[in-house]
Amino acid sequence: MSTPPLLRMTGVSKAFPGVQALTDVGFELRAGEVHALMGENGAGKSTLIKMLAGVHTPDAGSIEIDGRGVAVSTPQSAVDHGIAVIHQELNLAPNLTVAQNLALGREPRTRLGTLDRKRIRREAAAKLDRVGGGIDPDATLGTLSVGMQQLVEIARAVAQNARVLVLDEPTAALSETEAQRLFSLVEEMRERGMGLLYISHRMEEVYRLANRITVFRDGQWVGTSPRSELDPEDIVARMVGRTLTDLYVHERHEPGEAVLEAEAIGDGAGIGPFDLTLRAGEVVGLGGLIGAGRTEAAQLIFGAARIRTGRLRIGGRVVDHRSPLDAIRNGVGYVPESRKEQALFLDMSIRDNVVTTGVGLDRVSDFGVLRSGRISQRVSAQVDALRVRCSSVLQRVAELSGGNQQKVVLGRWLAIAPRVLLLDEPTRGVDIGAKQEIYRIIDRLSRDGVAVLIVSSDLPELLGVSDRVLVMRNGSIAAELSREEATEEAVMLHATGVAAGSA
């Protein structure tokens, strides 16, 4: 008789109001394997993760551990069954020390009933040793990098004798060094016999770590195969139900007149001075290493930071963006790098998020009185054009997948017809199908004459969608590369200062 898998889910279904999240899904995880789960945003991965975490319960189907049926109905029951989930948003207390976080809910006490602080620290040091990283148990958690905080949460899971560890987009906010440390730890835990469910959009990580790969699409199981039997094109075809060709959609054409001109602008504190010109219908990429000043440059233009030196012109007219509202009034839109923290009101509806700029509301009002039906009709048209998957425009944005949330942010700016659109990491945390849709939106904007500036750390993306590329280094623009000159090597040479004239 064969040994049952460590974890088995059979015939699992889950529905929410207006959405069938999972339909008759089956999934298995073996001890001593890394099993990658892939799919577009909205494919059902998050729902499956939350079932394993005890946040959601299945409407139908069963979950087994070692061949025995279990009920994972609460987060504590998940822990009791040896299941730990490391979410993208870490479940830790930033104001407590590392040791206190590791002891939360299981604090040892002295004979007098007081907290045994020495034991808490001693046990924390032992737990941390199992994951490496040299973390100080007495450090306040919030002072650590995201990568170090993640190690603390993994240390807690290991200490709770977790046998199933779910890692949800674990490298999304990690540096390269932190990511490599995580990969080594994943391989160590596999060797110890743990079963690891690894959710990622990053193909190179999946091919480095996974033993098997399962793909979900539209809430259904599509297939499970050993990694060696799949190439990236196979995976993408399973994820989106079609073969993706020409991922970077951008039709090159002659740009129009200058729409935005930055002349020696800077913040007086390390960013600038730099010159920048954006022309109608042109997509300009802004590359560089983390910390080079790309985001800060975009914020200067948008009025999120004050320009202290130089001049900014829009349509040939000198403007003073004292706030984002000034920029919006001058036809400048901005999609920030963190949509959840900087762009969206998660508890509000899609409709209300799209109209938050307030610009253009005269078209949906009578004598200053907003007409709800007219607003919904207008937003619905945007939602349909952007292919946002939702039950209605009244659905809460928090309930949408990452890719659909990003489309809502883009829809806000499409609704006001900007002259200039600044995009900061527009496809971060977005699956490959949604990426292509976002590239199509960018291409459509450029064809409509919008001047687009795109900041991206994804070099293939930066080169694939841009007409020309600017490279930032130490707060200034180190190089301007035509589409023909812009290669990954050329961008990196200028970004690191190796190229002549960039040092």
- Any idea what DSSP says for residue 164? E
Determine the CATH number of domain 7-240.
3.40.50.300
- Any idea what DSSP says for residue 291? T
- What's domain 258-496's superfamily in CATH? P-loop containing nucleotide triphosphate hydrolases (3.40.50.300)
Please state, as a whole number, how many other Cβ atoms lie within 10 Å of the Cβ of residue 63: 22
| Average pLDDT for runs of 10 along the chain of length 503 | 88 87 94 92 86 94 95 93 87 89 83 85 88 87 87 87 91 80 92 94 89 92 94 81 64 86 93 95 91 92 95 96 93 88 84 70 43 69 79 86 85 86 88 83 92 91 92 93 89 78 44
**Secondary-structure breakdown of the chain: helix, strand, coil percentages, each rounded to the nearest 5:** 35, 25, 40
Q: 453 - beta bridge partners?
A: 284, 422
Question: What is the per-residue pLDDT for 242?
Answer: 57
Question: What is the per-residue pLDDT for 331?
Answer: 94
Element (H, E) at 25: strand 19-29
pLDDT, one tens digit per residue, over 76-115 is 999 999 999 998 777 888 899 999 999 887 788 888 878 8
Could you tell me how far CA 432 lies from the centroid of its own chain?
A: 12
Could you tell me how far CA 91 lies from the centroid of its own chain?
A: 17
- Same fold for the pair 7-240 and 258-496: yes
Domain ranges across the chain: 7-240, 258-496
Helices (H), 53-138: 75-80, 98-103, 117-129
**Scanning the structure block, which residue is given the tokens 């959710």?**
199
Asked if 471 and 477 count as a contact pair (C-beta separation under 8 A), the reply is yes
**Scanning the structure block, which residue is given the tokens 């839109």?**
333
Question: What is the per-residue pLDDT for 373?
Answer: 60
Q: How far apart are the first and last CA of the chain?
A: 66
At residue 318, what is the residue type? Answer: V
pLDDT, one tens digit per residue, over 377-388 is 778 877 877 788
